[in-house]
Structure 1
Amino acid sequence: MAENGGKTSAQIFKELKGKQKVQFIYDYYKIPILLTLITLFLFFTTLHSVLARKEEILTVALVNVRTPENAEHFLGEAYLQKNGYSTKRRTVTLMDQLLVPSGAARAVSANHASPGESSSAQVPSPEETNPEYAYAAQMKLVATLSAKELDVVLMDEEALAYFEQNKALLPLDHRHKYLDLTDKALYKKAGFTGKVYAGIVVNSTHRPEAERYLKYLEEK
């Protein structure tokens, strides 16, 4: 196409010198260049996000149980390392500050604990001091259970009674649906206090991994 007195853009470009050529390229191609740069930026951003994303192999919830300072390492990274997983590629998601719904059974059967036994691991009555927080924590637990987002639960006696009443735990053997972690090595290493139980949620989507995880928790 002829321009500027019959000269094509290619001919004009050849006659230009130094900075004039740079300006010419900018004037004629700034929009395509800008679009190309944006496309490259989005491509590499997406690529980095995909490569950096960790595969979630398990979700562990602490229900009515405080999360000790050292617990995150022993419940997550230590398990991955022991089982040969790359901590850069895999992750165990921990969910804490979850509560059983208000009104859930508070009585604990004789199979769970002796009558005089206390449970200092239990989250101290947040519903009495912050009803909004307690309600949100209760609804979060119900929602995650319904969405099949939980695999393993660590819980106090009240939460255990709630899960058992709702038939929400998988049988571990012909007699039990939970583990008592109180005498286990990890219980002490992680800094737990009071009675803490572990079980597999009945609608877990990672059951084989959840079973391996409970064996890890059970080690002495």
Structure 2
Amino acid sequence: MKALKQLHGKAKLQYLWDYYKLPFIIICIVLYILVYNIHGQLVKKTTVLSIAFINVNMSESLSQHLTSDFLDFEHLSAKKNEICTYDNLLIQENPDSENLEYAYASSTRLLAAIDAKKIDLVFMNREAMEQLNKKGYLSDSINVSDFPLLKNAKFDGDIYVGIIKNAPHKDECLKYLDFIKKTAPET
């Protein structure tokens, strides 16, 4: 300690660094990990619902109605809650289809998400509904083409919403169905 008291300026800093750099580095690492974890917990959003769009393309405004507006409908903060979406998924059984590789990749992604319990609801056309029903993935599905929110969307054919059997948010699925049944698009 006498040596430290006799040093001044840069020499004192160099002495401290030479003898205390390992504890200093360890403290900095621990502080970084703590701040990183606390920040992650503060900004982490809760997934309220996960929705997949299969063989249907939603416009940006309709997608906004189907996601953000549901949070408003349920009086949930968009800063703390989110609806995850799986967009542009394609299911086809026709081996002669020009989109077969994309359909295979989409099916793999969809089935992995279903098996991981990461999808609650699916918006789909009749072909996708028949495929998912045949494989036993849907617990229920309904035609929503005439619901006010979807009526003027100009889809090719009917649109169905299905609840996945192993959906992690089944209560929210029912609230969501009520939402799309009662909600009309803004004009």
Q: TM-score, normalised by structure 1?
A: 0.74
What whole-Å deviation, never above 9, does each CA across 1:40-60 have from its counterpart, x for those lacking one?
A: 112211221222111112111
Q: CA deviation at 1:70?
A: 1.7
Secondary structure of 2:145 counterpart: coil
Quick check: which has more Rg, 1 or 2?
1
Contact 2:50 2:121 in 1 (8 A): yes
Higher helix share: 2
**8 Å CA contact retained: 2:121, 2:173:** yes
In 1, Cα distance between equivalents of 2:104 and 2:97: 11
Match of 1:24 among 10, 15, 32: 15
Structure 2 residue aligned with 1:110: none
Q: Equivalent of 2:103, from 120, 134, 143?
A: 134
Offset of 1:102 from its aligned partner? 1.8
Give the gaps of 5 or more residues in structure 2: none
**Sequence identity (%):** 30
Instruction: Give the distance between the partners of 2:103 and 2:60, measured in 1 at CA.
Output: 22
Unaligned runs of at least 5 residues, structure 1: 1-9, 104-124, 172-176
SS of the aligned residue for 2:59 comes to: coil
Give the 5 Å matches for 1:204-215: 204-215=167-178
Matched with 2:115 is 146
Amino acid in the other structure paired with 1:74: H
1:75 Cα deviation after fit: 1.7
Residue 91 of structure 1 corresponds to 82
Which of 151, 159, 163 pairs up with 1:196? Answer: 159
Judged with a 3 Å threshold, the aligned counterparts in structure 2 of structure 1 residues 128 and 167 are, in CA distance, closer, same or farther, namely: closer
**Contact kept? 1:56, 1:92, Cα under 8 Å:** yes
The verdict on how the C-alpha distance between 1:37 and 1:192 changes in structure 2, with shifts beyond 3 A counting, is farther
Distance in 1, Cα, partners of 2:22 & 2:149: 60
Segment drifting more, 69-78 vs 88-97: 69-78
How far did residue 161 of structure 1 move? Answer: 2.0
Displacement of 1:192:
5.3
Tell me if the contact between 1:100 and 1:141 (Cα under 8 Å) persists in the aligned partners. no
Alignment of 1:217 with 2:180, yes or no, is: yes
